[in-house]
Amino acid sequence: MRLATAFSLLCLGSNAAAKLHHLYVGSFNASAIYNVAFDDEALSLSLVQSFPTSDAHFWIDFDHEKKNIYTTSVSKWSSYKIMNNMSIVHTRSLPLTGSCPGSQSIFLTTSPHPPHRVYGSSFGGDVSCGNVFSVHENGTLSDTVQAFDYGSGSGVHGLALAPGGEMLYSADDTGNAVWTHRVDSRTGEVHLVDRLAAPVSGADPRHIVVHPGGGFAYVVFEGTNRLAVYSIDSDGGLAYANISYPLIPPDHNTTAYWSDEVSLSHSTSYLWASSRSRIPDSPGYITAFTLSPSGEIQSQLFLTPTSSSGGMANAVSPSAFSDEFVALTDNERGFVQIWGFDGVGAGVVDTLELAGNGCCANAIWYD
């Protein structure tokens, strides 16, 4: 479904040549992964193919070469090989392990550095577990090399690695804290360094991203609906920088929203974040910030309503090829959108509704 907005009429044609770009989209309930295409000249989205899976996948991510997709499920982690025609084939699943009964796999991230370990966290129950996985040379999941827990009362919902892969940071939504682990460069196993409580009660850190310069981390506080800035010292230690920005308008009731995602743009000159509404048919919000080369936030550019509440999603995913476009997924109505960005504001350029109850979780840009 095409939306007639100002951005669909803009000349976003800084691209030298138009291209068709592909994304994979996960699902919360539907047992499918979707491959969709975005034409950056026609500004249109289309469904290429829906691939049936044995489970719903709440979070998906690529390996370091984009030859495999790693996924979360309720009680396991899986890998899918990406074929030459962009179809996917399931290659392996590993169980969620550790002392975390009632928990489910919820998030994972991959290291671009050898030995290219995959790091996952679970959420729910009384304790959150972390799992570390080895991979084969072709990127397929191999074995669980470490299982650890974050302690009673934890619920880790987001992970991020330091640019050099030497530290793992964990956003503990339930425990209202951010954890720091040091990564063994040889084995990929992690060792606890610190647990830093959030600056206020009920902040509920949900997702985290680290600037490639290594000096700052940005954390979405789900409970207070703010984006918090953390400084990182030369040893990889975190400290709250006493800086945060709103992810909903100041006159809105905080309890009616739960903020979600944070992500860096292609050039890392911009930072994107989003919030969700707890009320159906009431919009969430999307925002972007300008960053200095070292990662300091210079300004918040806008705070714009999204097309829906977002359901459990409203997950923003900047394109892998340009700062002009970001994908946004919705779980209330089941769609993926592309938003256009001109350096000042943003708006919807196209929306693709995907059949099947439970779509959509997050989207990842393939090309």
The per-residue pLDDT for 172 is 99
The per-residue pLDDT for 5 is 46
Region 326-339 average pLDDT: 96
Flag whether pLDDT at 77 surpasses 70. Answer: yes
Region 268-290 average pLDDT: 97
- Contact call for residues 36 and 328 (beta carbons, < 8 A): no
Retrieve residue 362's tokens.
């997050």
- Contact call for residues 172 and 158 (beta carbons, < 8 A): no
What is the amino acid identity at position 282?
S
The per-residue pLDDT for 3 is 42
Flag whether pLDDT at 328 surpasses 60. Answer: yes
CB atoms within 10 A of CB 320: 15
Q: Phi and psi dihedrals of 15, rounded to 5?
A: -70, 130
Closest CA relative to residue 121, chosen from 229, 224, 206: 206
Separation of alpha carbons 334 and 29, rounded Å: 11
- Contact call for residues 268 and 261 (beta carbons, < 8 A): no
Each residue of 193-205: pLDDT tens digit? 999 999 999 999 9
Flag whether pLDDT at 11 surpasses 60. Answer: no
- Contact call for residues 31 and 366 (beta carbons, < 8 A): no
- Number of C-alpha atoms within 13 angstroms, CB side, residue 191? 7
Flag whether pLDDT at 2 surpasses 90. Answer: no
Closest CA relative to residue 286, chosen from 356, 346, 242: 346
Separation of alpha carbons 179 and 242, rounded Å: 18
Sorted by where each starts, the structural domains of the chain and their CATH numbers stand as 20-365 (2.130.10.10)
The per-residue pLDDT for 16 is 43
Closest CA relative to residue 219, chosen from 269, 169, 149, 166: 169
Does a cis peptide bond (omega within 30 degrees of 0) precede residue 360? yes
Separation of alpha carbons 129 and 282, rounded Å: 34
Separation of alpha carbons 79 and 301, rounded Å: 38
Retrieve residue 26's tokens.
């996960």
Which residue, chain included where needed, has tokens 């577990």? Answer: 129
CA distances (Å), origin 273, targets 68, 116, 261: 26, 27, 5
Under the banding of pLDDT at 50, 70 and 90, the label for residue 311 is: confident
Rg (CA), the chain: 19
- Number of C-alpha atoms within 13 angstroms, CB side, residue 92? 13
Between 14 and 330, whose confidence is greater?
330
Flag whether pLDDT at 158 surpasses 50. Answer: yes
Separation of alpha carbons 105 and 84, rounded Å: 29
Separation of alpha carbons 222 and 200, rounded Å: 12
What is the amino acid identity at position 288?
A
Region 326-337 average pLDDT: 95
Each residue of 30-66: pLDDT tens digit? 899 999 999 999 999 999 999 999 889 999 999 999 9
Separation of alpha carbons 152 and 127, rounded Å: 5
Active site residues: 157, 206, 222, 276
SS (H, E, C) 84-109: CCCCEEEEEEEECCCCCCCCEEEEEE
Flag whether pLDDT at 84 surpasses 90. Answer: yes
| 83-92: long-range contacts, CB 8 A cutoff, minimum separation 24 | 86/22, 86/35, 86/48, 86/49, 86/366, 87/35, 87/49, 87/51, 88/24, 88/33, 88/35, 88/51, 90/53, 90/54, 91/140, 91/141, 92/140, 92/141, 92/142
Q: Which residues of 213-239 are buried (b: 16+ CB within 10 A; e: fewer)?
A: ebbbbbbbbbbbbbbbbbbbeeebebe
Under the banding of pLDDT at 50, 70 and 90, the label for residue 18 is: low
The per-residue pLDDT for 13 is 45
Query: How much is the mean pLDDT over the chain?
Result: 94
Contacts of 16 (CB under 8 A, 6+ apart): none
Which residue, chain included where needed, has tokens 């647990």? Answer: 195
Between 85 and 9, whose confidence is greater?
85
Each residue of 109-136: pLDDT tens digit? 999 999 999 999 999 999 999 999 999 9
The per-residue pLDDT for 17 is 57
